[in-house]
Amino acid sequence: MMGTWIGIGIAVIVLALLARASIRIVTQYERGVRFRLGKVRSEPFEPGLVLLIPIVDRLQNVSLRIVTLPIQSQGIITRDNVSVDVSAVAYYRVVDAIKSVVAIEDVNSAIGQIAQTTLRAVVGRHTLDETLSETDRINVNIREILDVQTEGWGVEVTLVELKDIQLPETMKRAMARQAEAEREKRAKIIAAEGEALAAGELARASDVMMAHPLALQLRNLQTLVEISVDKNSTVIFPSPLMSTIEEIGSFLKREKVSSNDLSALMEKLAPPADK
């Protein structure tokens, strides 16, 4: 009797082990690749319950989710012989579960290595200015190269982004000086353009004042009103120099003529001298 119960217990244990070995579950984001006696069988299993033949079948689950792969910082010499350290990040996903298992041993490691070499090759073909200003084009070039190389592995590279670009300290200082000089140049150009516009407006204003002389006098009176607001004790007010000189000359000329006429009149009215 005892032996019977022991036999039943052993049978139950064996059945439980067989059931555990033959029943597998494939989650929603996975596909199951089945090997029967070492050979891949048909299409991958869809998510759900999977029944296997113990010892004969082996199931390997492959995730189809997008994987984030950091690309370690690489020391790169650009086309204009500047040493920079560039790091990036790549995103990829498995599109063919069977190829990703059969064609390559370790997809993540393989993509990481080839991404590093591709990053060095692509950035090395560009100058420093292009690397800093055309990152979108560089990202696309790296992604396209990786996508072609990983197509045979059943993997699709969806995105590559340059994450960080480290420059030497000397280059940072040189770029800072360049940026400062560029800002000063733009400031001088803007100031010169302002002076040119102001000169044009002043020229038009002077034409108006020449056509209307009273306009200058009205402007002078307005300036006096503005100055009087400050309640200054001394006011130095400019006056048109040439017109002032002309008026003074005309006054002196009139005075001279008047004095000559008065002298002639006195001579006529004076009595003749006794001989």
- Please report the DSSP string for 13-59 in residue order: HHHHHHHHHHEEEE-TTEEEEEEETTEE-SSPBPSEEEE--TTTEEE
State pLDDT tens for residues 78-137: 888 888 889 999 999 999 888 888 888 888 889 989 999 999 899 888 888 888 888 889
pLDDT of residue 231: 64
- What integer pLDDT is reported at residue 238 of this predicted model? 58
240 falls within a domain: no
Tell whether the model's pLDDT for residue 168 goes beyond 50: yes
pLDDT reading at 271 higher than 60: no
Pairing of the two strands 39-40 and 30-36: antiparallel
Q: Specify the 3-state DSSP secondary structure of 192.
A: helix
Answer whether residue 241 shows pLDDT above 50: no
Q: Is residue 133 part of a domain?
A: yes
Mean per-residue pLDDT, 158-187: 85
**What range does the domain containing 211 cover?**
169-220
For 165, the token pair is 């670009």
CB atoms within 10 A of CB 40: 14
143 and 126, same structural domain? yes
| pLDDT of res. 26 | 81
Domain boundary among 10, 31, 63: 63
Same domain, residue pair 126 and 176: no
Q: Are residues 142 and 197 in the same domain?
A: no
Q: Quick one: 146 and 211 in the same domain?
A: no
**Co-location of 177 and 109 in the same domain:** no
d(CA 119, CA 158): 16
- Residue 271 maps to a domain: no
More confident residue, 196 or 52: 196
State which of 177, 203, 220 marks the end of a domain: 220
Query: Is residue 10 included in any domain, yes or no?
Result: yes
Give the C-alpha distances (Å, rounded to integers) separating 200 from 190, 196, 214, 217. Answer: 15, 6, 22, 22
Per-residue pLDDT band for 273 (boundaries 50, 70, 90) equals low
Q: Decide if 114 is inside a domain.
A: yes
Catalogue the E-assigned strands of the chain: 23-26, 30-36, 39-40, 48-51, 57-63, 67-77, 83-94, 155-166
Q: Tell me the pLDDT band of 275, cut-offs 50, 70 and 90.
A: very low
Beta-carbon count within 10 A of 128 CB: 19
DSSP state of 84: E
Record the pTM.
0.60
Q: How many whole angstroms separate alpha carbon 80 and alpha carbon 119?
A: 17
pLDDT score at 13: 73
β-strand partners of 31: 62
Res. 23 pLDDT band, cuts 50 70 90: confident
* Highest mean pLDDT, choosing among 8-12, 76-80, 125-129, 138-142: 138-142
156-163: average pLDDT = 90
- Location of structure tokens 């490691």: 109
Residues 100 and 161 in one domain: yes
Any idea what the CATH number is for the domain that residue 80 is in?
A: 3.30.479.30
Query: 């993997």: which residue's tokens?
Result: 155
Residue 46 has pLDDT above 80, yes or no: yes
**DSSP 8-state assignment for residue 272:** P
Residue 94: count of CB within 10 angstroms of its CB:
23
pLDDT tens, 195-227? 888 888 888 887 877 777 767 667 777 776 776
Domain identity same for 162 and 95: yes
- The total domain count for the chain is 3
In a domain, 11, yes or no: yes
Asked whether residue 71 falls in the same domain as residue 159, the answer is yes
